Amino acid sequence: MSMFDFEFEDHEDPIEGLRLGDVVDSYERARREGSEEYFDSETLEDIATFYFENERFEDALEVIDRLGEVQPFSSDVWLKRGVILNTLDYHEQAVEAYQKALSFNPMDSEANLNLGITLDHLDEPEQALEAYEKAGQIDPLNDELLFQTG
């Protein structure tokens, strides 16, 4: 399962019956041609996840930023942006993204957990522990949280 928490077992879009690869191809064609073709939020999430799972992190970030233009107040979009930035080793920017996610949803255990992980990378153990504690208050049995705090 992806860090984005999406699963593509059959790689088909449930709405249109299109294969995900076809949707990504359509997106890439529109991008190359400078087309303003419309892609809904769910489709953009699917495309970003496809890129992330295929280690095309810069492409995933571009799509998430496009999704952020459509949903600027979505904590989920900011969390995903943070995950991608952290994967790209842009830890300071990832911290900002997680903090933005938490400003919209302070009860997001995943944002707190990922904030803690990123703060660990930045050698900020006290702040990381604070983030882990907040995540633990929300979801005390989270396996990843238990591993990180260990």
The rounded mean pLDDT for the chain is 87
| CA atoms of 88 and 57, how far apart (whole Å) | 7
**pTM score:** 0.83
Count of residues making up the chain = 150
Express each pLDDT in 91-139 by its tens digit: 999 999 999 999 999 999 999 999 999 999 999 999 999 999 999 999 8
pLDDT confidence tier of residue 145, bands split at 50, 70 and 90? confident
* Residue bearing the bigger pLDDT, 103 or 28: 103
Structure confidence at residue 14 (pLDDT): 41
Structure confidence at residue 6 (pLDDT): 40
Nearest to 80 by CA among 69, 67, 70: 67
